[in-house]
């Protein structure tokens, strides 16, 4: 089930819920960029199967969005999906205090609080997907149905092609 000896909150939560996953570590040097395309390359996987976790805010409310690493959030579509007028990215300096995770290691599973979570609808069409395991250098490989069991996720068209 797991290749990694590391245990993160995300992994503990999946283990408690008996949801299958594979923990996959990749090499990340201290000077390497922390971006999704580098993660996909490090895993040797199609960027369409590797999802990044992005956190937004609207007033005092926070929302989590998952999109393939080669794509970007369309904030207007995200706001529509969330039923709010306006969304903005959570300032990076607030990420750890809000989620319990750091940039590049933010998992949609096991955050400090439960936030409304959305994933690009392309997730459903993938055989397997990767999401952060809760730290830089660790990804969780899962079937989309298992990810949807682990986190209450609404599927929506929220991504646009990266530039």
Q: How far apart are CA 106 and CA 158, in angstroms?
A: 19
Whole-number pLDDT of residue 92: 92
User: 9-161: what CATH class?
Assistant: alpha beta
129, 142 Cβ separation under 8 angstroms: yes
Q: Which of the residue ranges 31-35, 39-43, 96-100 has the most confident prediction, judged by mean pLDDT?
A: 96-100
How far is CA 153 from each of CA 40, 43, 100, 119, rounded to the nearest angstrom?
22, 25, 19, 6
Count how many residues are written for the chain: 163
What are the pLDDT digits (tens) for 114-160? Answer: 999 999 999 999 999 999 999 988 999 999 999 999 999 999 999 98
Residues near 41 by beta carbon (within 8 Å), at least 6 away in sequence: none
* Placement of tokens 């999946």 in the chain: 14
159-161 and 71-73: which strand pairing? antiparallel
pLDDT at position 14 over 60: yes
Lowest mean pLDDT among 28-32, 80-84, 146-150: 28-32
Whole-number pLDDT of residue 3: 54
Say how many C-beta atoms besides its own lie within 10 A of residue 47's C-beta. 19
Record the pTM.
Answer: 0.91
């Amino acid at each position: 089930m797991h290749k990694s000896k590391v245990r993160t909150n995300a992994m503990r939560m999946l283990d408690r819920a008996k949801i299958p996953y594979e923990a996959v570590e990749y090499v990340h040097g201290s000077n390497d960029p922390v971006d999704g395309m580098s993660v996909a390359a490090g895993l040797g996987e199609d960027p369409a199967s590797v999802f990044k976790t992005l956190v937004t805010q609207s007033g005092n409310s926070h929302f989590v969005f998952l999109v393939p690493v080669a794509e970007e959030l369309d904030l207007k579509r995200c706001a529509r999906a969330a039923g709010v007028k306006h969304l903005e990215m959570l300032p990076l300096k607030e990420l750890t205090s809000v989620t319990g995770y750091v940039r590049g290691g933010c998992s949609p599973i096991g955050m400090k609080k439960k936030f409304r979570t959305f994933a690009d609808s392309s997730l459903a069409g993938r055989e397997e997907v990767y999401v952060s395991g809760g730290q830089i250098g660790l990804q969780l490989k899962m079937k989309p149905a298992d990810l949807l069991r682990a986190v209450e996720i609404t599927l929506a068209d929220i991504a646009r092609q990266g530039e």
